[in-house]
Amino acid sequence: MKISILTVGDEILIGQIVDTNSAWMGQQLNLTGARVVTIITVGDTMEAIHTGLREALEQADVILMTGGLGPTKDDITKKALSEYMGVDMVFHELTFQRITKMFEVWGRPMNEAHRLQCYMPANAEILTNKMGTAPGMWMEYAGKVIVSMPGVPYEMQYLMENEVLPKLRQKFQGQPIAHRTILTVGEGESHIAEKLEDFEEGLPEGFKLAYLPHIAQVRLRITGSLADEATLHRILDEKAEIIRSRFADIIYGFGTDTLEGAIGVMLKERGLKLATAESCTGGYLAHRITSVAGASDYFVGSVIAYANEVKMQVLGVSAATLDTHGAVSEQTVIEMAEGAVKVLPADIAISISGIAGPGGGSDTKPVGLAWIAVSNGQKTRTFSIRAGKDRDKNIQYFTIHALNQIRQFLKQL
């Protein structure tokens, strides 16, 4: 089954919003055995929508459209569809009744625009949208399927999961596709690939390994396709286990796990509390840790010691250490981490100090240098890293390595 995704909206073309709908649909469709062949974005004009439809229909069996179904005058997708297919617009009474009840529950009056929203192309099968007023539409035209859905992400996702994907599976019987995603941190893509060369060569027909690098992290995705779904999953599990056994030290999770989530699990299992003492990351490390629901079970707080005065007065870093070694040094982060364990009710603290850039570096301490320390008061582990000159990327890079140092420290307890 070949799919074209057609998104409608000037707001996407001018960069006002990012098209996350296409990425989400692509992920879901891939799991059904479908192949997305094009993603097209067009503006809110009849000509643009007709041009997009023509191009999509030439290349795919199914066109999935999002956007342009609202009650305002710029929402013209339905009219564009009816004109392109040469069918009339008809009033859909059941949709009108459903919207009327929704407004009654909300305690708000309907207006004429909402009544006009109930006109649909005559050949449309209505897909009930329980998340909003605009229904989805399933249409068959010239031997192809055209599906139109709202552009609001949670409304589109509801329709895809509850209406569109089940109908597509029923109409197009495809061979199942499945994935196993292994998440690694702290090792480069090329080094991992070198160690997996024999693994890739030994993969059965219909299976492949993809490397998906991000900042200081690499996702390894094994994809397979077989008619026998049970055999497909068995082989994927076996191959994922081989990778897990080879890279146990750098693997922190699978699928949709996060590094900060994995650390949270480790802290809860050990009954430990964590704190951070941050300079160059300015609280971003604490933000990542607290982005996990339930982080209050194990995270107690942070000291953002950006100025040397805060390092000394709050964390107890000595003036002699700063004078002799500087703020970005192994000695300073050791005292920051050990000080954080004392001043905060934490069992473990991590500290970080670096030069995020783009200025402030020197020959001996260039932009992109950072020192990290993790301590429980008795044992302290230090680590230095070098990044580039981009400030935002450096902060993210430092933070990922800091999270990984917490993980490594906990593994040794």
- The pLDDT value recorded for residue 53 is 97
119-121 and 89-91: which strand pairing? antiparallel
Q: Identify whether the C-beta of residue 42 lies closer than 8 Å to the C-beta of residue 7.
A: yes
- The pLDDT of residue 312 is 98
Q: How far is CA 115 from the centre of its chain?
A: 37
pLDDT score recorded for residue 274: 98
Give the helix ranges, DSSP H, for 271-390: 284-290, 308-313, 319-325, 330-343
pLDDT at 210: 93
Q: Helix, strand or coil for residue 17? A: coil
C-beta pairs of 366-372 under 8 Å, 24+ apart in sequence: 367/394, 368/394, 369/328, 370/280, 370/328, 370/394, 370/398, 370/401, 371/328, 371/329, 371/330, 371/332, 371/333, 372/333, 372/398, 372/401, 372/402, 372/405
- CA separation for the pair 313, 277 (Å, rounded): 13
All structural domains of the chain, each given as residue ranges with its CATH number in brackets, are 2-171 (3.40.980.10), 177-254 (3.30.70.2860), 259-411 (3.90.950.20)
Q: How many secondary structure helices (H) and strands (E) does the chain include?
A: 17, 17
Cα–chain center distance at 13: 22
Question: Which of the residues in the chain have pLDDT under 70?
Answer: none
Q: Is 253 within 8 Å of 183 (Cβ atoms)?
A: yes
What pairing do the DSSP bridges indicate for beta strands 299-304 and 274-278?
parallel
**Pair 339, 313: CB distance under 8 Å:** no
Looking at residue 172, its pLDDT comes to: 82
* Entry pTM: 0.76
Q: How many residues does the chain have?
A: 413
Backbone angles phi, psi at 225, to 5 degrees: -140, 120
For residue 73, CA distances in Å to 68, 314, 331 come to: 9, 59, 64
Q: Can you give the pLDDT at residue 34?
A: 85
Q: Residue 127's closest CA among 89, 76, 167?
A: 167
Instruction: For residues 151 and 348, give the distance between their C-alpha atoms in angstroms, rounded to a whole number.
Output: 45
The predicted pLDDT at position 104 comes to 87
Could you tell me the two tokens for 76? Answer: 């013209």
Q: Quick one: pLDDT at residue 74? A: 73
pLDDT of residue 326: 97
Query: Can you read off the two tokens belonging to residue 40?
Result: 């097209």
Distance CA 329, CA 126 (A): 64
Distance CA 395, CA 210 (A): 27
C-alpha of 204 from chain center: 29
| pLDDT value of residue 69 | 86
Residue 136: what pLDDT? 93
Q: In angstroms, rounded to a whole number, what is the distance separating the alpha carbons of residues 278 and 283?
A: 6
